[in-house]
A and B are shown apart, each in its own frame.
Chain A
Amino acid sequence: MNSVGEGCTDLKREYDQCFNRWFAEKFLKGDRSGDPCTEMFKTYQVCVQKAIKDKDIPIDGVEFMGPNKEKPES
C-alpha cells in the first residue's frame, strides 16, 4: 500500500510492519509495555505532514467531526 505522499511509502511500510507486529503480539494480548515504533513513526510523520501540506489536503487537525457537526466547505 502506498502512502498519500509518494516519497513516504518506504517509511510508511516500515512503520506499518512494526505497528502490525506490536498490535498482534503485544497490544491484543494485553501487554502494555511500550510501543517500539515511536521513533519510526516520527520520521514517517515528518514526511507525511509535508506531503499533506504540499498537496493541500484539508486535514484540519486530527479532530474527528461526527455527522452532526458542520463540515467546512471545500
Chain B
Amino acid sequence: MKIWSTEHIFSYPWETVIKAAMRKYPNPMNPSVVGVDVLDRNLDSQGRLHSHRLLSTEWGLPTIVRAILGTNRTLTYVKEHSIVDPEKKEMELCSTNITLTNLVSVDERLIYRPHPENPEVTVLTQEAIITVKGVSLSSYLEGLMALSMSANARKGWDAIEWIIQNSERENVPLCNLY
C-alpha cells in the first residue's frame, strides 16, 4: 500500500476554482479522460450538493505496470462522489477505480477550501492510497504509480488553471430571456 499526498495553491478565490473543477473535462492536460457522466445528483438536508459521476479513462496504469500485471485493458472506469458545501466553502471529491479491482486499487481524495489566511486564494489537498495486489514487486509498482499520480496531479492543477483562464461564455448566457 502506498500513500501519497500533496497540497497545491490556486491564486483564485474558491468559487472560481470550484466552478472550474465542476467543468474540468475536457481539457488539453488530461486527454486520457474520454468519458464523464453524472449518475446521480441531489441536495442533502444541510444544503450540500452531492454528485455521483462515472469517468472512463484511457490512462489506467502506466504501460510498464500493465505489462507486469499482464493486462491489455486500456479503458478503465472510475466512480467519483463529490460534495459541495457552499456555506462552509468546501468541495470534497472521492474517487475509486471500479475496474481492474482485482489487480489494483486507487482511491483518491481531493478537498478544495479557501486558504485560511487569504480568502482570495484556494488550497487543494490531495491524497491517494494505491494498492497493487497479488503480485511480487507490488511495492515497486505502487511506487511507480505514485510517481505517475504526481505527474498527473500536476496536469490536473494546470487543467483547473486552464479552465479558469479560458472560461467561455457559452455556459453563462449574456441575457436570461426565458
Q: Would you give the 0/1 interface string for A19-31, flagging 1 where the beta carbon is closer than 8 Å to chain B?
A: 1110111011010
Is B37's CB under 8 angstroms from A71's CB?
no
A-B contact count (CB 8 A): 103
Asked if B111 is at the interface (CB within 8 A of a chain A CB), the reply is: no
Binds A, one of B18-26, B112-120, B154-162: B18-26
Is B96's CB under 8 angstroms from A71's CB?
yes
Report B115 CB to chain A, min CB distance, Å: 18
In A35-61, the 8 Å CB interface with B consists of 35, 41, 44-45, 48, 52, 57-60
Known: A5-B37, A27-B86, A48-B39. A59 touches B171 (CB 8 A): no
Is A59's CB under 8 angstroms from B172's CB?
no
Is A21's CB under 8 angstroms from B35's CB?
no
Q: Would you give the 0/1 interface string for B26-60, flagging 1 where the beta carbon is closer than 8 Å to chain A?
A: 10000001111111110100010100101010000
Looking across the interface, which residue of chain B has its beta carbon closest to that of A9? B35
Which residues of the partner chain B approach A17 to less than 8 Å between Cβ atoms?
170-171
Report B89 CB to chain A, min CB distance, Å: 10
Which residues of the partner chain B approach A41 to less than 8 Å between Cβ atoms?
38, 41
Is A21's CB under 8 angstroms from B173's CB?
yes
The complex places the Cα of A15 from the Cα of B37 at a distance, in Å, of 10
Count residues of chain A with CB under 8 A from any CB of chain B.
39
Is A64's CB under 8 angstroms from B171's CB?
no
Known: A30-B86, A64-B94, A73-B101. A24 touches B19 (CB 8 A): yes
Asked if B153 is at the interface (CB within 8 A of a chain A CB), the reply is: no
Asked if B164 is at the interface (CB within 8 A of a chain A CB), the reply is: no
Which residues of the partner chain B approach A27 to less than 8 Å between Cβ atoms?
49, 84, 86
The complex places the Cα of A66 from the Cα of B94 at a distance, in Å, of 8
Known: A4-B56, A27-B49. A21 touches B101 (CB 8 A): no
The complex places the Cα of A73 from the Cα of B129 at a distance, in Å, of 18
Which residues of the partner chain A approach B34 to less than 8 Å between Cβ atoms?
2
Known: A48-B39, A64-B81, A72-B101. A1 touches B26 (CB 8 A): yes
